[in-house]
């Protein structure tokens, strides 16, 4: 019986529709030489599969998939709905995406169609149904990718007449009456009251629109893409047992949590530079908890990015570190974009595995080394999973949208602040978090961090959170947490919805940190300062851990602790400096029995793993600098075969897969 490819999956995106079929055999031979075992195909091939409306041609695709199958490759098959044929957009111009200026897109791009267009939905259903019938039971197909990088691509998403009407319907369903909507949005201000739901406008960029309208509009855009994805997933699930996903980009305008309710596998694309590689784990820490199944890294670059111009050369070793990150963090696939560089058209200068002439790039040997390492470490990787740490950080699409339109203070950017002020000091101290949506179950966690989480009423979080704290959880809240309701409005009775009573404080002053910061002093005497924003507290049962030393807040509490039931709350009135945040986190983690992953250099990602394959760690250096890892137990590096007993020096962009030896 033929042996099918199994994880770890290692491959690339392949576009055989634009190359002669007689070239496929040579490509496959080179793919095998590279050490690959999976190809992702057909994501932009609609015009090749349906050259004329209602006339389908899958013979060429059968040839390609069968050749890959016979050569021992698995296939991820993609629906091509991001790039409809010219006959569709010219015959049905009402299907085109309309930008915030009211101008329809033209043929020649991708994602230039409206996900809500009924005629476009119908054509998508037909091509997806035909593909699923043709290939749904093909043994080489290990999974499906829906569309490509769905996201509200402009600052307002699609602004066509269909989207406008559906948004008005959504607001009618949400609020029931205009009185309720007008009251929730405080529309009496500036005479913004509506007398009909049909008066709700498309929020174009030329007008200073209401933040509640803008936030609701972008949530509607996210919901639209979720519905579009579900429409295709329902078809694929009828004809195929292979897992279904959609490749996501590191942008939260589309809710990762909502879109994966009806999907089976999380697929993720990223293109990091040498300077930003440390950020890649942030998004993988978001992918991992979405599903119990390992996620797939469906796109990343081997060597440089590029569209009409190449940019971002990566030093030797970058490809190795970048390619190992998903496997370290709970994924089971890493695929490059792309296998063979394009010979004409869009993204002509993007990095690849081989050139448009079929010649291996300088990175080819590194790709082969990665493949060899995956073969050595594969049995351990596939029989272990990242060890749960008990630590989670909230990351919210609602917050993304709200802060985009209402950033509160000059210079505040939600994701950047979360990455640099929270995630970076946390992970450099070797704590391994899950990034979770407010809808996620809190039961697996002992320590929860909720920075910049404006609305605790998302997904009923407020009541669930208080019950979790009372049962023994430790919650680090703020800044900018519990400051808005789901209408993007402030609360009537105070600056917070619940945090004053929960944390035992009374907010005296709220002061922006623009253009200056204010000093604070910790209980142990350490002098420091906050940043971004300054909430100051009178104590009403809470205990001050730090107080302000200057300004109108002098003498008032800045960081407060309070026990609540069996748990406790740590409330931050300001954004802490990295050293202060690490100190606070270490104390809270120790009390909550949340342990660091390792004693290691801050530039080293260390991921503990365990399962029926044993226990160990995967370590990846992400800053192109030397690093050191201390070992509590002897371990064998599966990539080198060497045993290490006390510590391990890891070179720039180095990788180690360490399996602990039994005593």
pLDDT in tens, 391-413: 999 999 999 999 999 999 998 99
- Of 163, 186, 147, 178, whose CA–CA distance to 269 is shortest? 147
Are 9-157+239-384 and 391-591 the same fold in CATH?
Answer: no
**β-sheet bridge partners, residue 663:** none
Where the chain has pLDDT below 50, the residues are 1
Listed in sequence order, the residues at least 6 apart from 314 whose beta carbon sits closer than 8 Å to its beta carbon are 273, 274, 301, 303, 304, 322
For the record, the structure tokens of 260 come out as: 């994966």
**β-sheet bridge partners, residue 569:** 475, 562
Listed in sequence order, the residues at least 6 apart from 462 whose beta carbon sits closer than 8 Å to its beta carbon are 456, 497, 498
- Which CATH class name applies to 9-157+239-384? alpha beta
**How many Cβ atoms sit within 10 Å of the Cβ of residue 516?**
10
Contact 142, 189 (CB under 8 A): no
Q: Is the dihedral of CA 256, 582, 446, 593 positive or negative?
A: positive
State residue 205's pLDDT score.
85
State residue 2's pLDDT score.
66
Contact 340, 301 (CB under 8 A): no
Listed in sequence order, the residues at least 6 apart from 141 whose beta carbon sits closer than 8 Å to its beta carbon are 65, 74, 75, 76, 77, 135, 240, 242
State residue 88's pLDDT score.
98
State residue 109's pLDDT score.
86
Tens of pLDDT, residue by residue over 82-138, are: 999 999 999 999 999 999 999 999 998 899 999 999 999 999 999 999 999 999 999
Listed in sequence order, the residues at least 6 apart from 311 whose beta carbon sits closer than 8 Å to its beta carbon are 304, 305
Fold of 604-660: Immunoglobulin-like (2.60.40)
Contact 626, 652 (CB under 8 A): yes
CATH number of 391-591: 3.40.50.880
**How many Cβ atoms sit within 10 Å of the Cβ of residue 295?**
26
CA contacts within 13 A on the Cβ side of 402 = 23
What are the percentages of helix, strand and coil residues in the chain, rounded to 5?
35, 25, 45
Listed in sequence order, the residues at least 6 apart from 563 whose beta carbon sits closer than 8 Å to its beta carbon are none
- What whole-number distance in Å separates Cα of residue 78 and Cα of residue 45? 9
For the record, the structure tokens of 498 come out as: 């619940």
Q: List the chain domain ranges.
A: 9-157+239-384, 391-591, 604-660
Strand ranges in 119-246 using DSSP code E only, listed in sequence order: 141-145, 244-245
For the record, the structure tokens of 262 come out as: 């009806």
- What whole-number distance in Å separates Cα of residue 168 and Cα of residue 334? 41
């Amino acid at each position: 019986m033929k042996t099918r490819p199994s994880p770890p999956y290692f491959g690339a995106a392949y576009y055989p529709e634009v190359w002669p079929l007689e070239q496929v055999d040579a490509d496959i031979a080179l793919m095998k030489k590279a050490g690959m075992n999976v190809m992702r195909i057909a994501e932009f091939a609609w015009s090749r599969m349906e050259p004329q409306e209602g006339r389908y041609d899958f013979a060429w695709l059968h040839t390609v998939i069968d050749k890959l199958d016979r050569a021992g490759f698995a296939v991820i098959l993609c629906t091509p709905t991001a790039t409809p044929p010219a006959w569709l957009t010219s015959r049905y111009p009402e299907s085109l995406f309309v930008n915030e200026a009211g101008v329809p897109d033209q043929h020649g791009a991708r994602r230039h169609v409206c996900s809500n267009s009924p005629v476009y939905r119908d054509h998508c259903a037909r091509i997806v149904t035909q593909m699923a019938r043709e290939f749904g039971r093909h043994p080489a197909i290990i999974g499906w990718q829906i569309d490509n990088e769905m996201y509200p691509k402009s600052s307002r998403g699609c602004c066509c007449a269909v989207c406008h009407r559906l948004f008005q319907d959504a607001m009618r369903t949400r609020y029931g009456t205009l009185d309720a909507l007008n009251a929730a949005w405080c529309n009496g201000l500036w005479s913004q009251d509506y007398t009909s739901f049909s008066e709700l406008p498309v929020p174009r960029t030329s007008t200073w629109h209401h933040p509640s309208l803008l936030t609701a509009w972008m949530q509607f855009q996210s919901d639209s893409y979720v519905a579009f994805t579900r429409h295709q997933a329902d078809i694929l699930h009828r004809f195929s047992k292979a897992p279904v996903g959609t490749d996501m980009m590191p942008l939260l305008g589309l809710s990762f949590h909502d879109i994966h309710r009806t999907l089976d596998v999380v697929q993720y694309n990223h293109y990091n530079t040498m300077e930003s590689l440390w950020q890649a784990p942030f998004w993988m820490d978001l992918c991992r908890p979405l599903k119990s199944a390992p996620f797939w890294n469906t796109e990343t670059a081997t060597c440089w990015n590029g569209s009409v111009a190449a940019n971002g050369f990566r030093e030797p070793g970058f490809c190795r570190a970048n390619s190992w990150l998903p496997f370290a963090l709970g994924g089971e696939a890493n695929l490059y974009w792309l296998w063979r560089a394009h010979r004409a058209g869009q993204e002509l200068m993007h990095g690849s595995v081989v050139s448009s002439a079929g010649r291996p790039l300088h990175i080819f040997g590194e790709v082969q080394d990665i493949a060899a390492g995956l073969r050595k470490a594969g049995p351990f990787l596939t029989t272990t999973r990242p060890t749960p740490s008990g630590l989670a950080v909230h990351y919210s699409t609602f917050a993304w949208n709200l802060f985009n339109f209402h950033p509160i203070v000059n210079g505040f950017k939600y994701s950047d602040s979360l990455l640099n002020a929270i995630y970076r000091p946390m992970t450099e101290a070797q704590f391994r978090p899950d990034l979770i949506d407010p809808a996620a179950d809190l039961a697996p966690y002992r320590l929860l961090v909720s920075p910049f989480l404006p609305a605790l009423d998302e997904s009923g979080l407020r009541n669930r959170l208080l019950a979790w704290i009372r049962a023994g959880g430790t919650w680090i809240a703020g800044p900018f947490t519990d400051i808005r309701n789901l209408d993007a409005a402030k609360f009537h009775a105070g600056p917070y919805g619940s945090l004053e009573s929960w944390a035992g404080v009374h907010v005296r002053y709220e002061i922006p940190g623009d253009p200056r910061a204010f000093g604070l002093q910790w209980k142990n005497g350490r002098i420091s300062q906050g940043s971004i924003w300054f909430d100051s507290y009178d104590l009403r049962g809470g205990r001050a851990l730090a107080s302000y030393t200057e300004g109108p807040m002098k003498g008032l509490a800045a960081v407060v602790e309070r026990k609540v039931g069996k748990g406790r709350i740590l409330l931050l009135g300001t954004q802490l400096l990295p050293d202060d945040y690490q100190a606070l986190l270490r104390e809270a983690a120790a009390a909550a029995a949340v342990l660091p992953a390792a004693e290691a250099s801050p530039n080293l990602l260390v991921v503990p793993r365990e399962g029926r394959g044993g226990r160990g760690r995967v370590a990846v250096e992400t800053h192109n600098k030397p690093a050191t890892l201390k070992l509590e137990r002897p371990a064998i590096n599966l990539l080198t075969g060497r045993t290490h007993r006390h510590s391990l020096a890891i070179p720039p962009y180095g990788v180690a897969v360490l399996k602990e030896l039994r005593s």
